[in-house]
Amino acid sequence: MLTRSTLGMMHLMQPLQLLICVLATLAILTLTACTTPRGITSHPPVTWAIALHGGAGTLDRTAPLEELAAYRVSLQAALDVGRERASKGDSALDVAEAVVRVLENDPRFNAGRGAAFNEKGEHELDASIMDGATLQCGAVAGVRTVKNPVSLARLVMTQTKHVLLMGDGAEQFADAMAVERVPNSYFSTERRRKMLDEVLRERAAVGPRSDAAPRNPRTTYGTVGCVVRDTHGNLAAATSTGGLTGKRFGRVGDAPIIGAGNYADGYAAISCTGTGEEFIRHSVARTVAARIAFGGQSLEQAAHTLVFNTLKKDDGGLIAINAAGNIVMLYNSEGMYRAAADSTGWQTVAIFEDDTK
């Protein structure tokens, strides 16, 4: 802006000097108004964004190519559902629930159909969902006949004053809500049965200690999850799992524990996968958001600290999204089934670190 003192100085200048001064001032004003600040990209702002995972317990790189390709097809199918709904302006909660339902219905993942067996050869499923705009949340643990546990978790959030229902109580609540039910055998797959047999053989060889770590975590852990930033700027997270293969004594992991395996607020939405006990001990999902809110860290800095400094190698990973629509998908295991997209047209589907699609 040309101030009164500046105009007074100009009055004393010669005409040529005055012209040069005016041109220089206009140039400075133009550059100030038009130049993009350092560190800020000039691409269109993100209006919606979505990330999902199918667990950090992945196939290894020696798996048949057609099997790896089938997982990528499943991830793409779930991503397509999320992209379509997010682009239409659906709420973050609706999108997250819809995507997790797709993953729960896919027998390749350890959630819903395809869930891990417990030690008795049965299935006990866990799920949670959280609205970052309101901090409302709901969860269920140890359900046995609910086809889509994530939807029952949402009903806990919307239809009760509670956060977490478990076991027989959660099943009774499902009766009251008239959600779709299936026999426990619906969740069974031959692949998961073989994993249980492997764990039981190993357990018989080393003794029945329930806290003994599996030799091959890749075959025992698994979760699905989705995080969303919607067109209104709201965040949500949803997570679902069949739990640990061969689990005993009603074991519950981090997936239904708000703040451990699933969390959303105004800063970030996070869904985790891996060794549930470690994610519970370190309140991983909540801590990512807290590092942003109270520590001033970026989403990537906060997530990186938890995955690579707090957790141990092969503990697993997480997906996270912030209010700007930035996405991180980090893991310290061999791979993580994952996919993401946003409103700019960018998308990715990957399993291992060097995947490029």
Domain total for the chain?
Answer: 1
Cβ-contact 310, 260 below 8 angstroms: no
CATH number for the domain that contains residue 327: 3.60.20.30
Residue 83 lies in a domain: yes
pLDDT for res 34: 42
pLDDT for res 341: 98
DSSP letters along 201-243, please? HHHHHH---TTPPPS-GGGT---EEEEEE-TTS-EEEEEEE--
Residue 23 lies in a domain: no
DSSP-derived letter for residue 125 is E
Annotation marks residue 287 as catalytic:
no
Catalytic member of 223, 245, 275, 287: 223
Query: For residue 137, which phi and psi values (nearest 5 degrees)?
Result: -155, 160
Residue 38 lies in a domain: no
pLDDT for res 215: 60
pLDDT for res 57: 78
pLDDT for res 197: 94
Domain encompassing residue 178: 49-352
Residue 96 lies in a domain: yes
Residue 14 lies in a domain: no
Residue 177 lies in a domain: yes
In tens digits, the chain (357 residues) has pLDDT values of 444 444 444 444 455 565 555 455 555 444 444 443 333 334 679 999 999 999 997 778 888 999 999 999 999 999 999 999 999 999 999 999 999 999 999 999 999 999 999 999 999 999 999 999 999 999 999 999 999 999 999 999 999 999 999 999 999 999 999 999 999 999 999 999 999 999 999 888 887 665 555 566 666 678 999 999 999 999 999 999 999 999 999 999 999 999 999 999 999 999 999 999 999 999 999 999 999 999 999 999 999 999 999 999 999 999 999 999 999 999 999 999 999 999 999 999 999 988 755
